[in-house]
Amino acid sequence: MSFEKIHQFNFPTTIRFGANVVKELPAYLKANNLKAPLIVTDPNVAQLPFFKEIVADLRKNNISVEVFSDIHKNPVKSDVYKGVDLWDATNRDSVVGIGGGAGLDVARAILLRINHREDLFKYDDLIGGDIYVTNDVPHFITIPTTSGTGSEVGRSAIIADDETHQKKILFSPKLLAQTVFADPVLTMNIPAPITAATGMDALTHNMEAFLAKNYHPICDGIALQGMKLIHESLETATNKPDLESRSKMLLGSIMGAIAFQKGLGVVHSLAHPLSSLLDTHHGLANAVNIPYGMEFNIAGFEDKFRTIARTLELEKDNGEAVVQYLFDLNSKINIPHHLRDIGVKMEHVETLADLAFADFAHPNNPKPVSREDFKQLYLKAL
């Protein structure tokens, strides 16, 4: 397949995929009579040459641009409120989210709040708040800059409470982007450590979605192909990136996010507290924890692990081979094998276990996970 060519997929969002497809953005906005987008991104992306080029290209086409980038690495409610204040003050007509998970989460939460002005966490999906998402939302476009979260094709945003750091999920099919411009060229210059961490995040999404206990054979098929693409490309994309490896990683990331509507599991519940308590990068938290979480899941699900092992073309088709593969892959892309290497200390374990047990992801794990299980997993990974 040529990665120079632009392709279009619909799942159900329209995805424009291919090298330099982002150059279609000005014409797309004009065709939809949109003249004043609020561009939401994170402070790092806002400084990058490609981002400045996107903004300059829009202005050259007489499109009024406001940029909001005052957000935290792990977004909090006040970030969203500040973004909506800018929307109100500058008379915008659409939202364009550009970035990785943080930028796209804040963009989606701003999108929700524009026409839903009660407390943001009233809309928390974990307490049934999605039923209050009743009004229309503005036109929404997403442009991913990493191959990790797959937030560009999502319909939810994870935002933490400023004080308690507890993560809430804002969810509604209304929050799907109308169009995604997935341009692998934008991911070409991401530093190797971020490529590695976000890539392992994407692999975790596919692997956990495939194992999740809900019945969804469509997601299972997508997850397996997503794993295959990441297996073929992550090491190259990290250590010696080219257009093919970056394209496969971006597709694998998108597929993981489509697949995990089926659910996630124990690895994400291990990872989320590291971000909220210690501000650990989400992808890195998943990367270090995934071998331990997968090992926990093997017993009783040997058939599923056999399928994963065959998809990854491993010599032995069993769960132990999958776990060893994950450790080996982490080594090849310079991700440590232990939590102590990313700032976790023994005194954090009890609090992490509490937060992990309270997390929303593990109820979809193929087997139940107790608080004691989480504690033992953290101790093993430490």
* pLDDT, tens digit, 9 for 90 and up, residues 148-171: 889 999 999 989 998 888 889 999
Across the chain, what does the average pLDDT equal? 95
Based on the fold, state whether residues 158 and 252 are members of the same structural domain: no
With CA atoms as reference, report the closest residue to 90 among 72, 119, 114.
114
Q: Say how far apart CA 380 and CA 128 lie, in whole Å.
A: 35
- Type of residue numbered 282: H
pLDDT at 279: 84
Q: In Å, what is the CA distance from 244 to each residue of 145, 183, 189, 334?
A: 16, 12, 14, 21
Q: Could you say which of 162, 186, 210 is where a domain stops?
A: 186
pLDDT confidence of residue 379? 97
Percent with pLDDT over 70 in the chain: 99
DSSP state, residue 279: -
| pLDDT for position 382 | 95
Tokens standing for 336?
């440590």
What's the first-to-final CA gap in the chain, in angstroms?
Answer: 42
DSSP 181-196: EE-GGGGTT--HHHHH
Query: Can you say how many angstroms the Cα of residue 231 is from the centroid of all Cα atoms in its chain?
Result: 18
Instruction: Indicate the pLDDT class of residue 145, thresholds 50, 70 and 90.
Output: very high
Q: Give me the pLDDT at residue 283, please.
A: 93
Amino acid in the structure at residue 277: L
Domain-located, residue 235: yes
* DSSP3 helix / strand / coil % (the chain, rounded to 5): 60, 10, 30
Q: In the numeric block, which tokens belong to residue 321?
A: 């081979």
Residue 2 within a domain:
no
Q: What percent of the chain has pLDDT over 90?
A: 86
* Centroid of chain to Cα 236: 21
> Do 210 and 260 contact (CB within 8 A), yes or no?
no
Q: Using an 8 Å Cβ cutoff, are 339 and 381 in contact?
A: yes
**Which of 186, 208, 234 corresponds to the end of one domain?**
186
Q: Is residue 220 part of a domain?
A: yes
Number of domains forming the structure of the chain = 2
Q: Residue 1 domain-assigned?
A: no
Write the pLDDT tens digit of every residue in 89-103.
999 999 999 998 889
Same domain, 23 and 164: yes
In which domain, by residue range, is 178 found?
7-186
- pLDDT tens digits for 225-279? 999 999 999 999 999 999 999 999 999 999 999 999 899 999 999 999 998 889 8
CATH of the domain at 79: 3.40.50.1970
According to the model, what pLDDT value does residue 1 have? 64
SS (H, E, C) 231-244: HHHHHHHHHCCCHH
Q: Based on the domain organization, do 124 and 236 belong to the same domain? A: no
- The pLDDT score that the predictor gives to residue 10 is 65
- Provide the 10 A C-beta neighbour count for residue 85: 12
Euclidean distance between CA atoms 164 and 157, whole angstroms:
18
Q: State whether 357 and 217 are in the same domain.
A: yes
Task: Give the residue, 109 or 12, on which the prediction is more confident.
Answer: 109
**Does residue 223 contact residue 209 with C-beta atoms inside 8 Å?**
yes
What is the distance between the alpha carbons of residues 185 and 193, in angstroms, rounded to a whole number? 18
**In Å, how far are 229, 305, 308 from 224, measured between CA atoms?**
9, 11, 7
Provide the whole-model pTM: 0.91
Domain's final residue, options 186, 201, 219: 186
Supply the pLDDT for residue 261.
87
pLDDT tens string 8-58: 776 778 999 999 999 999 999 999 999 999 999 999 999 999 999 999 999
DSSP H or E segment with residue 254: helix 243-259
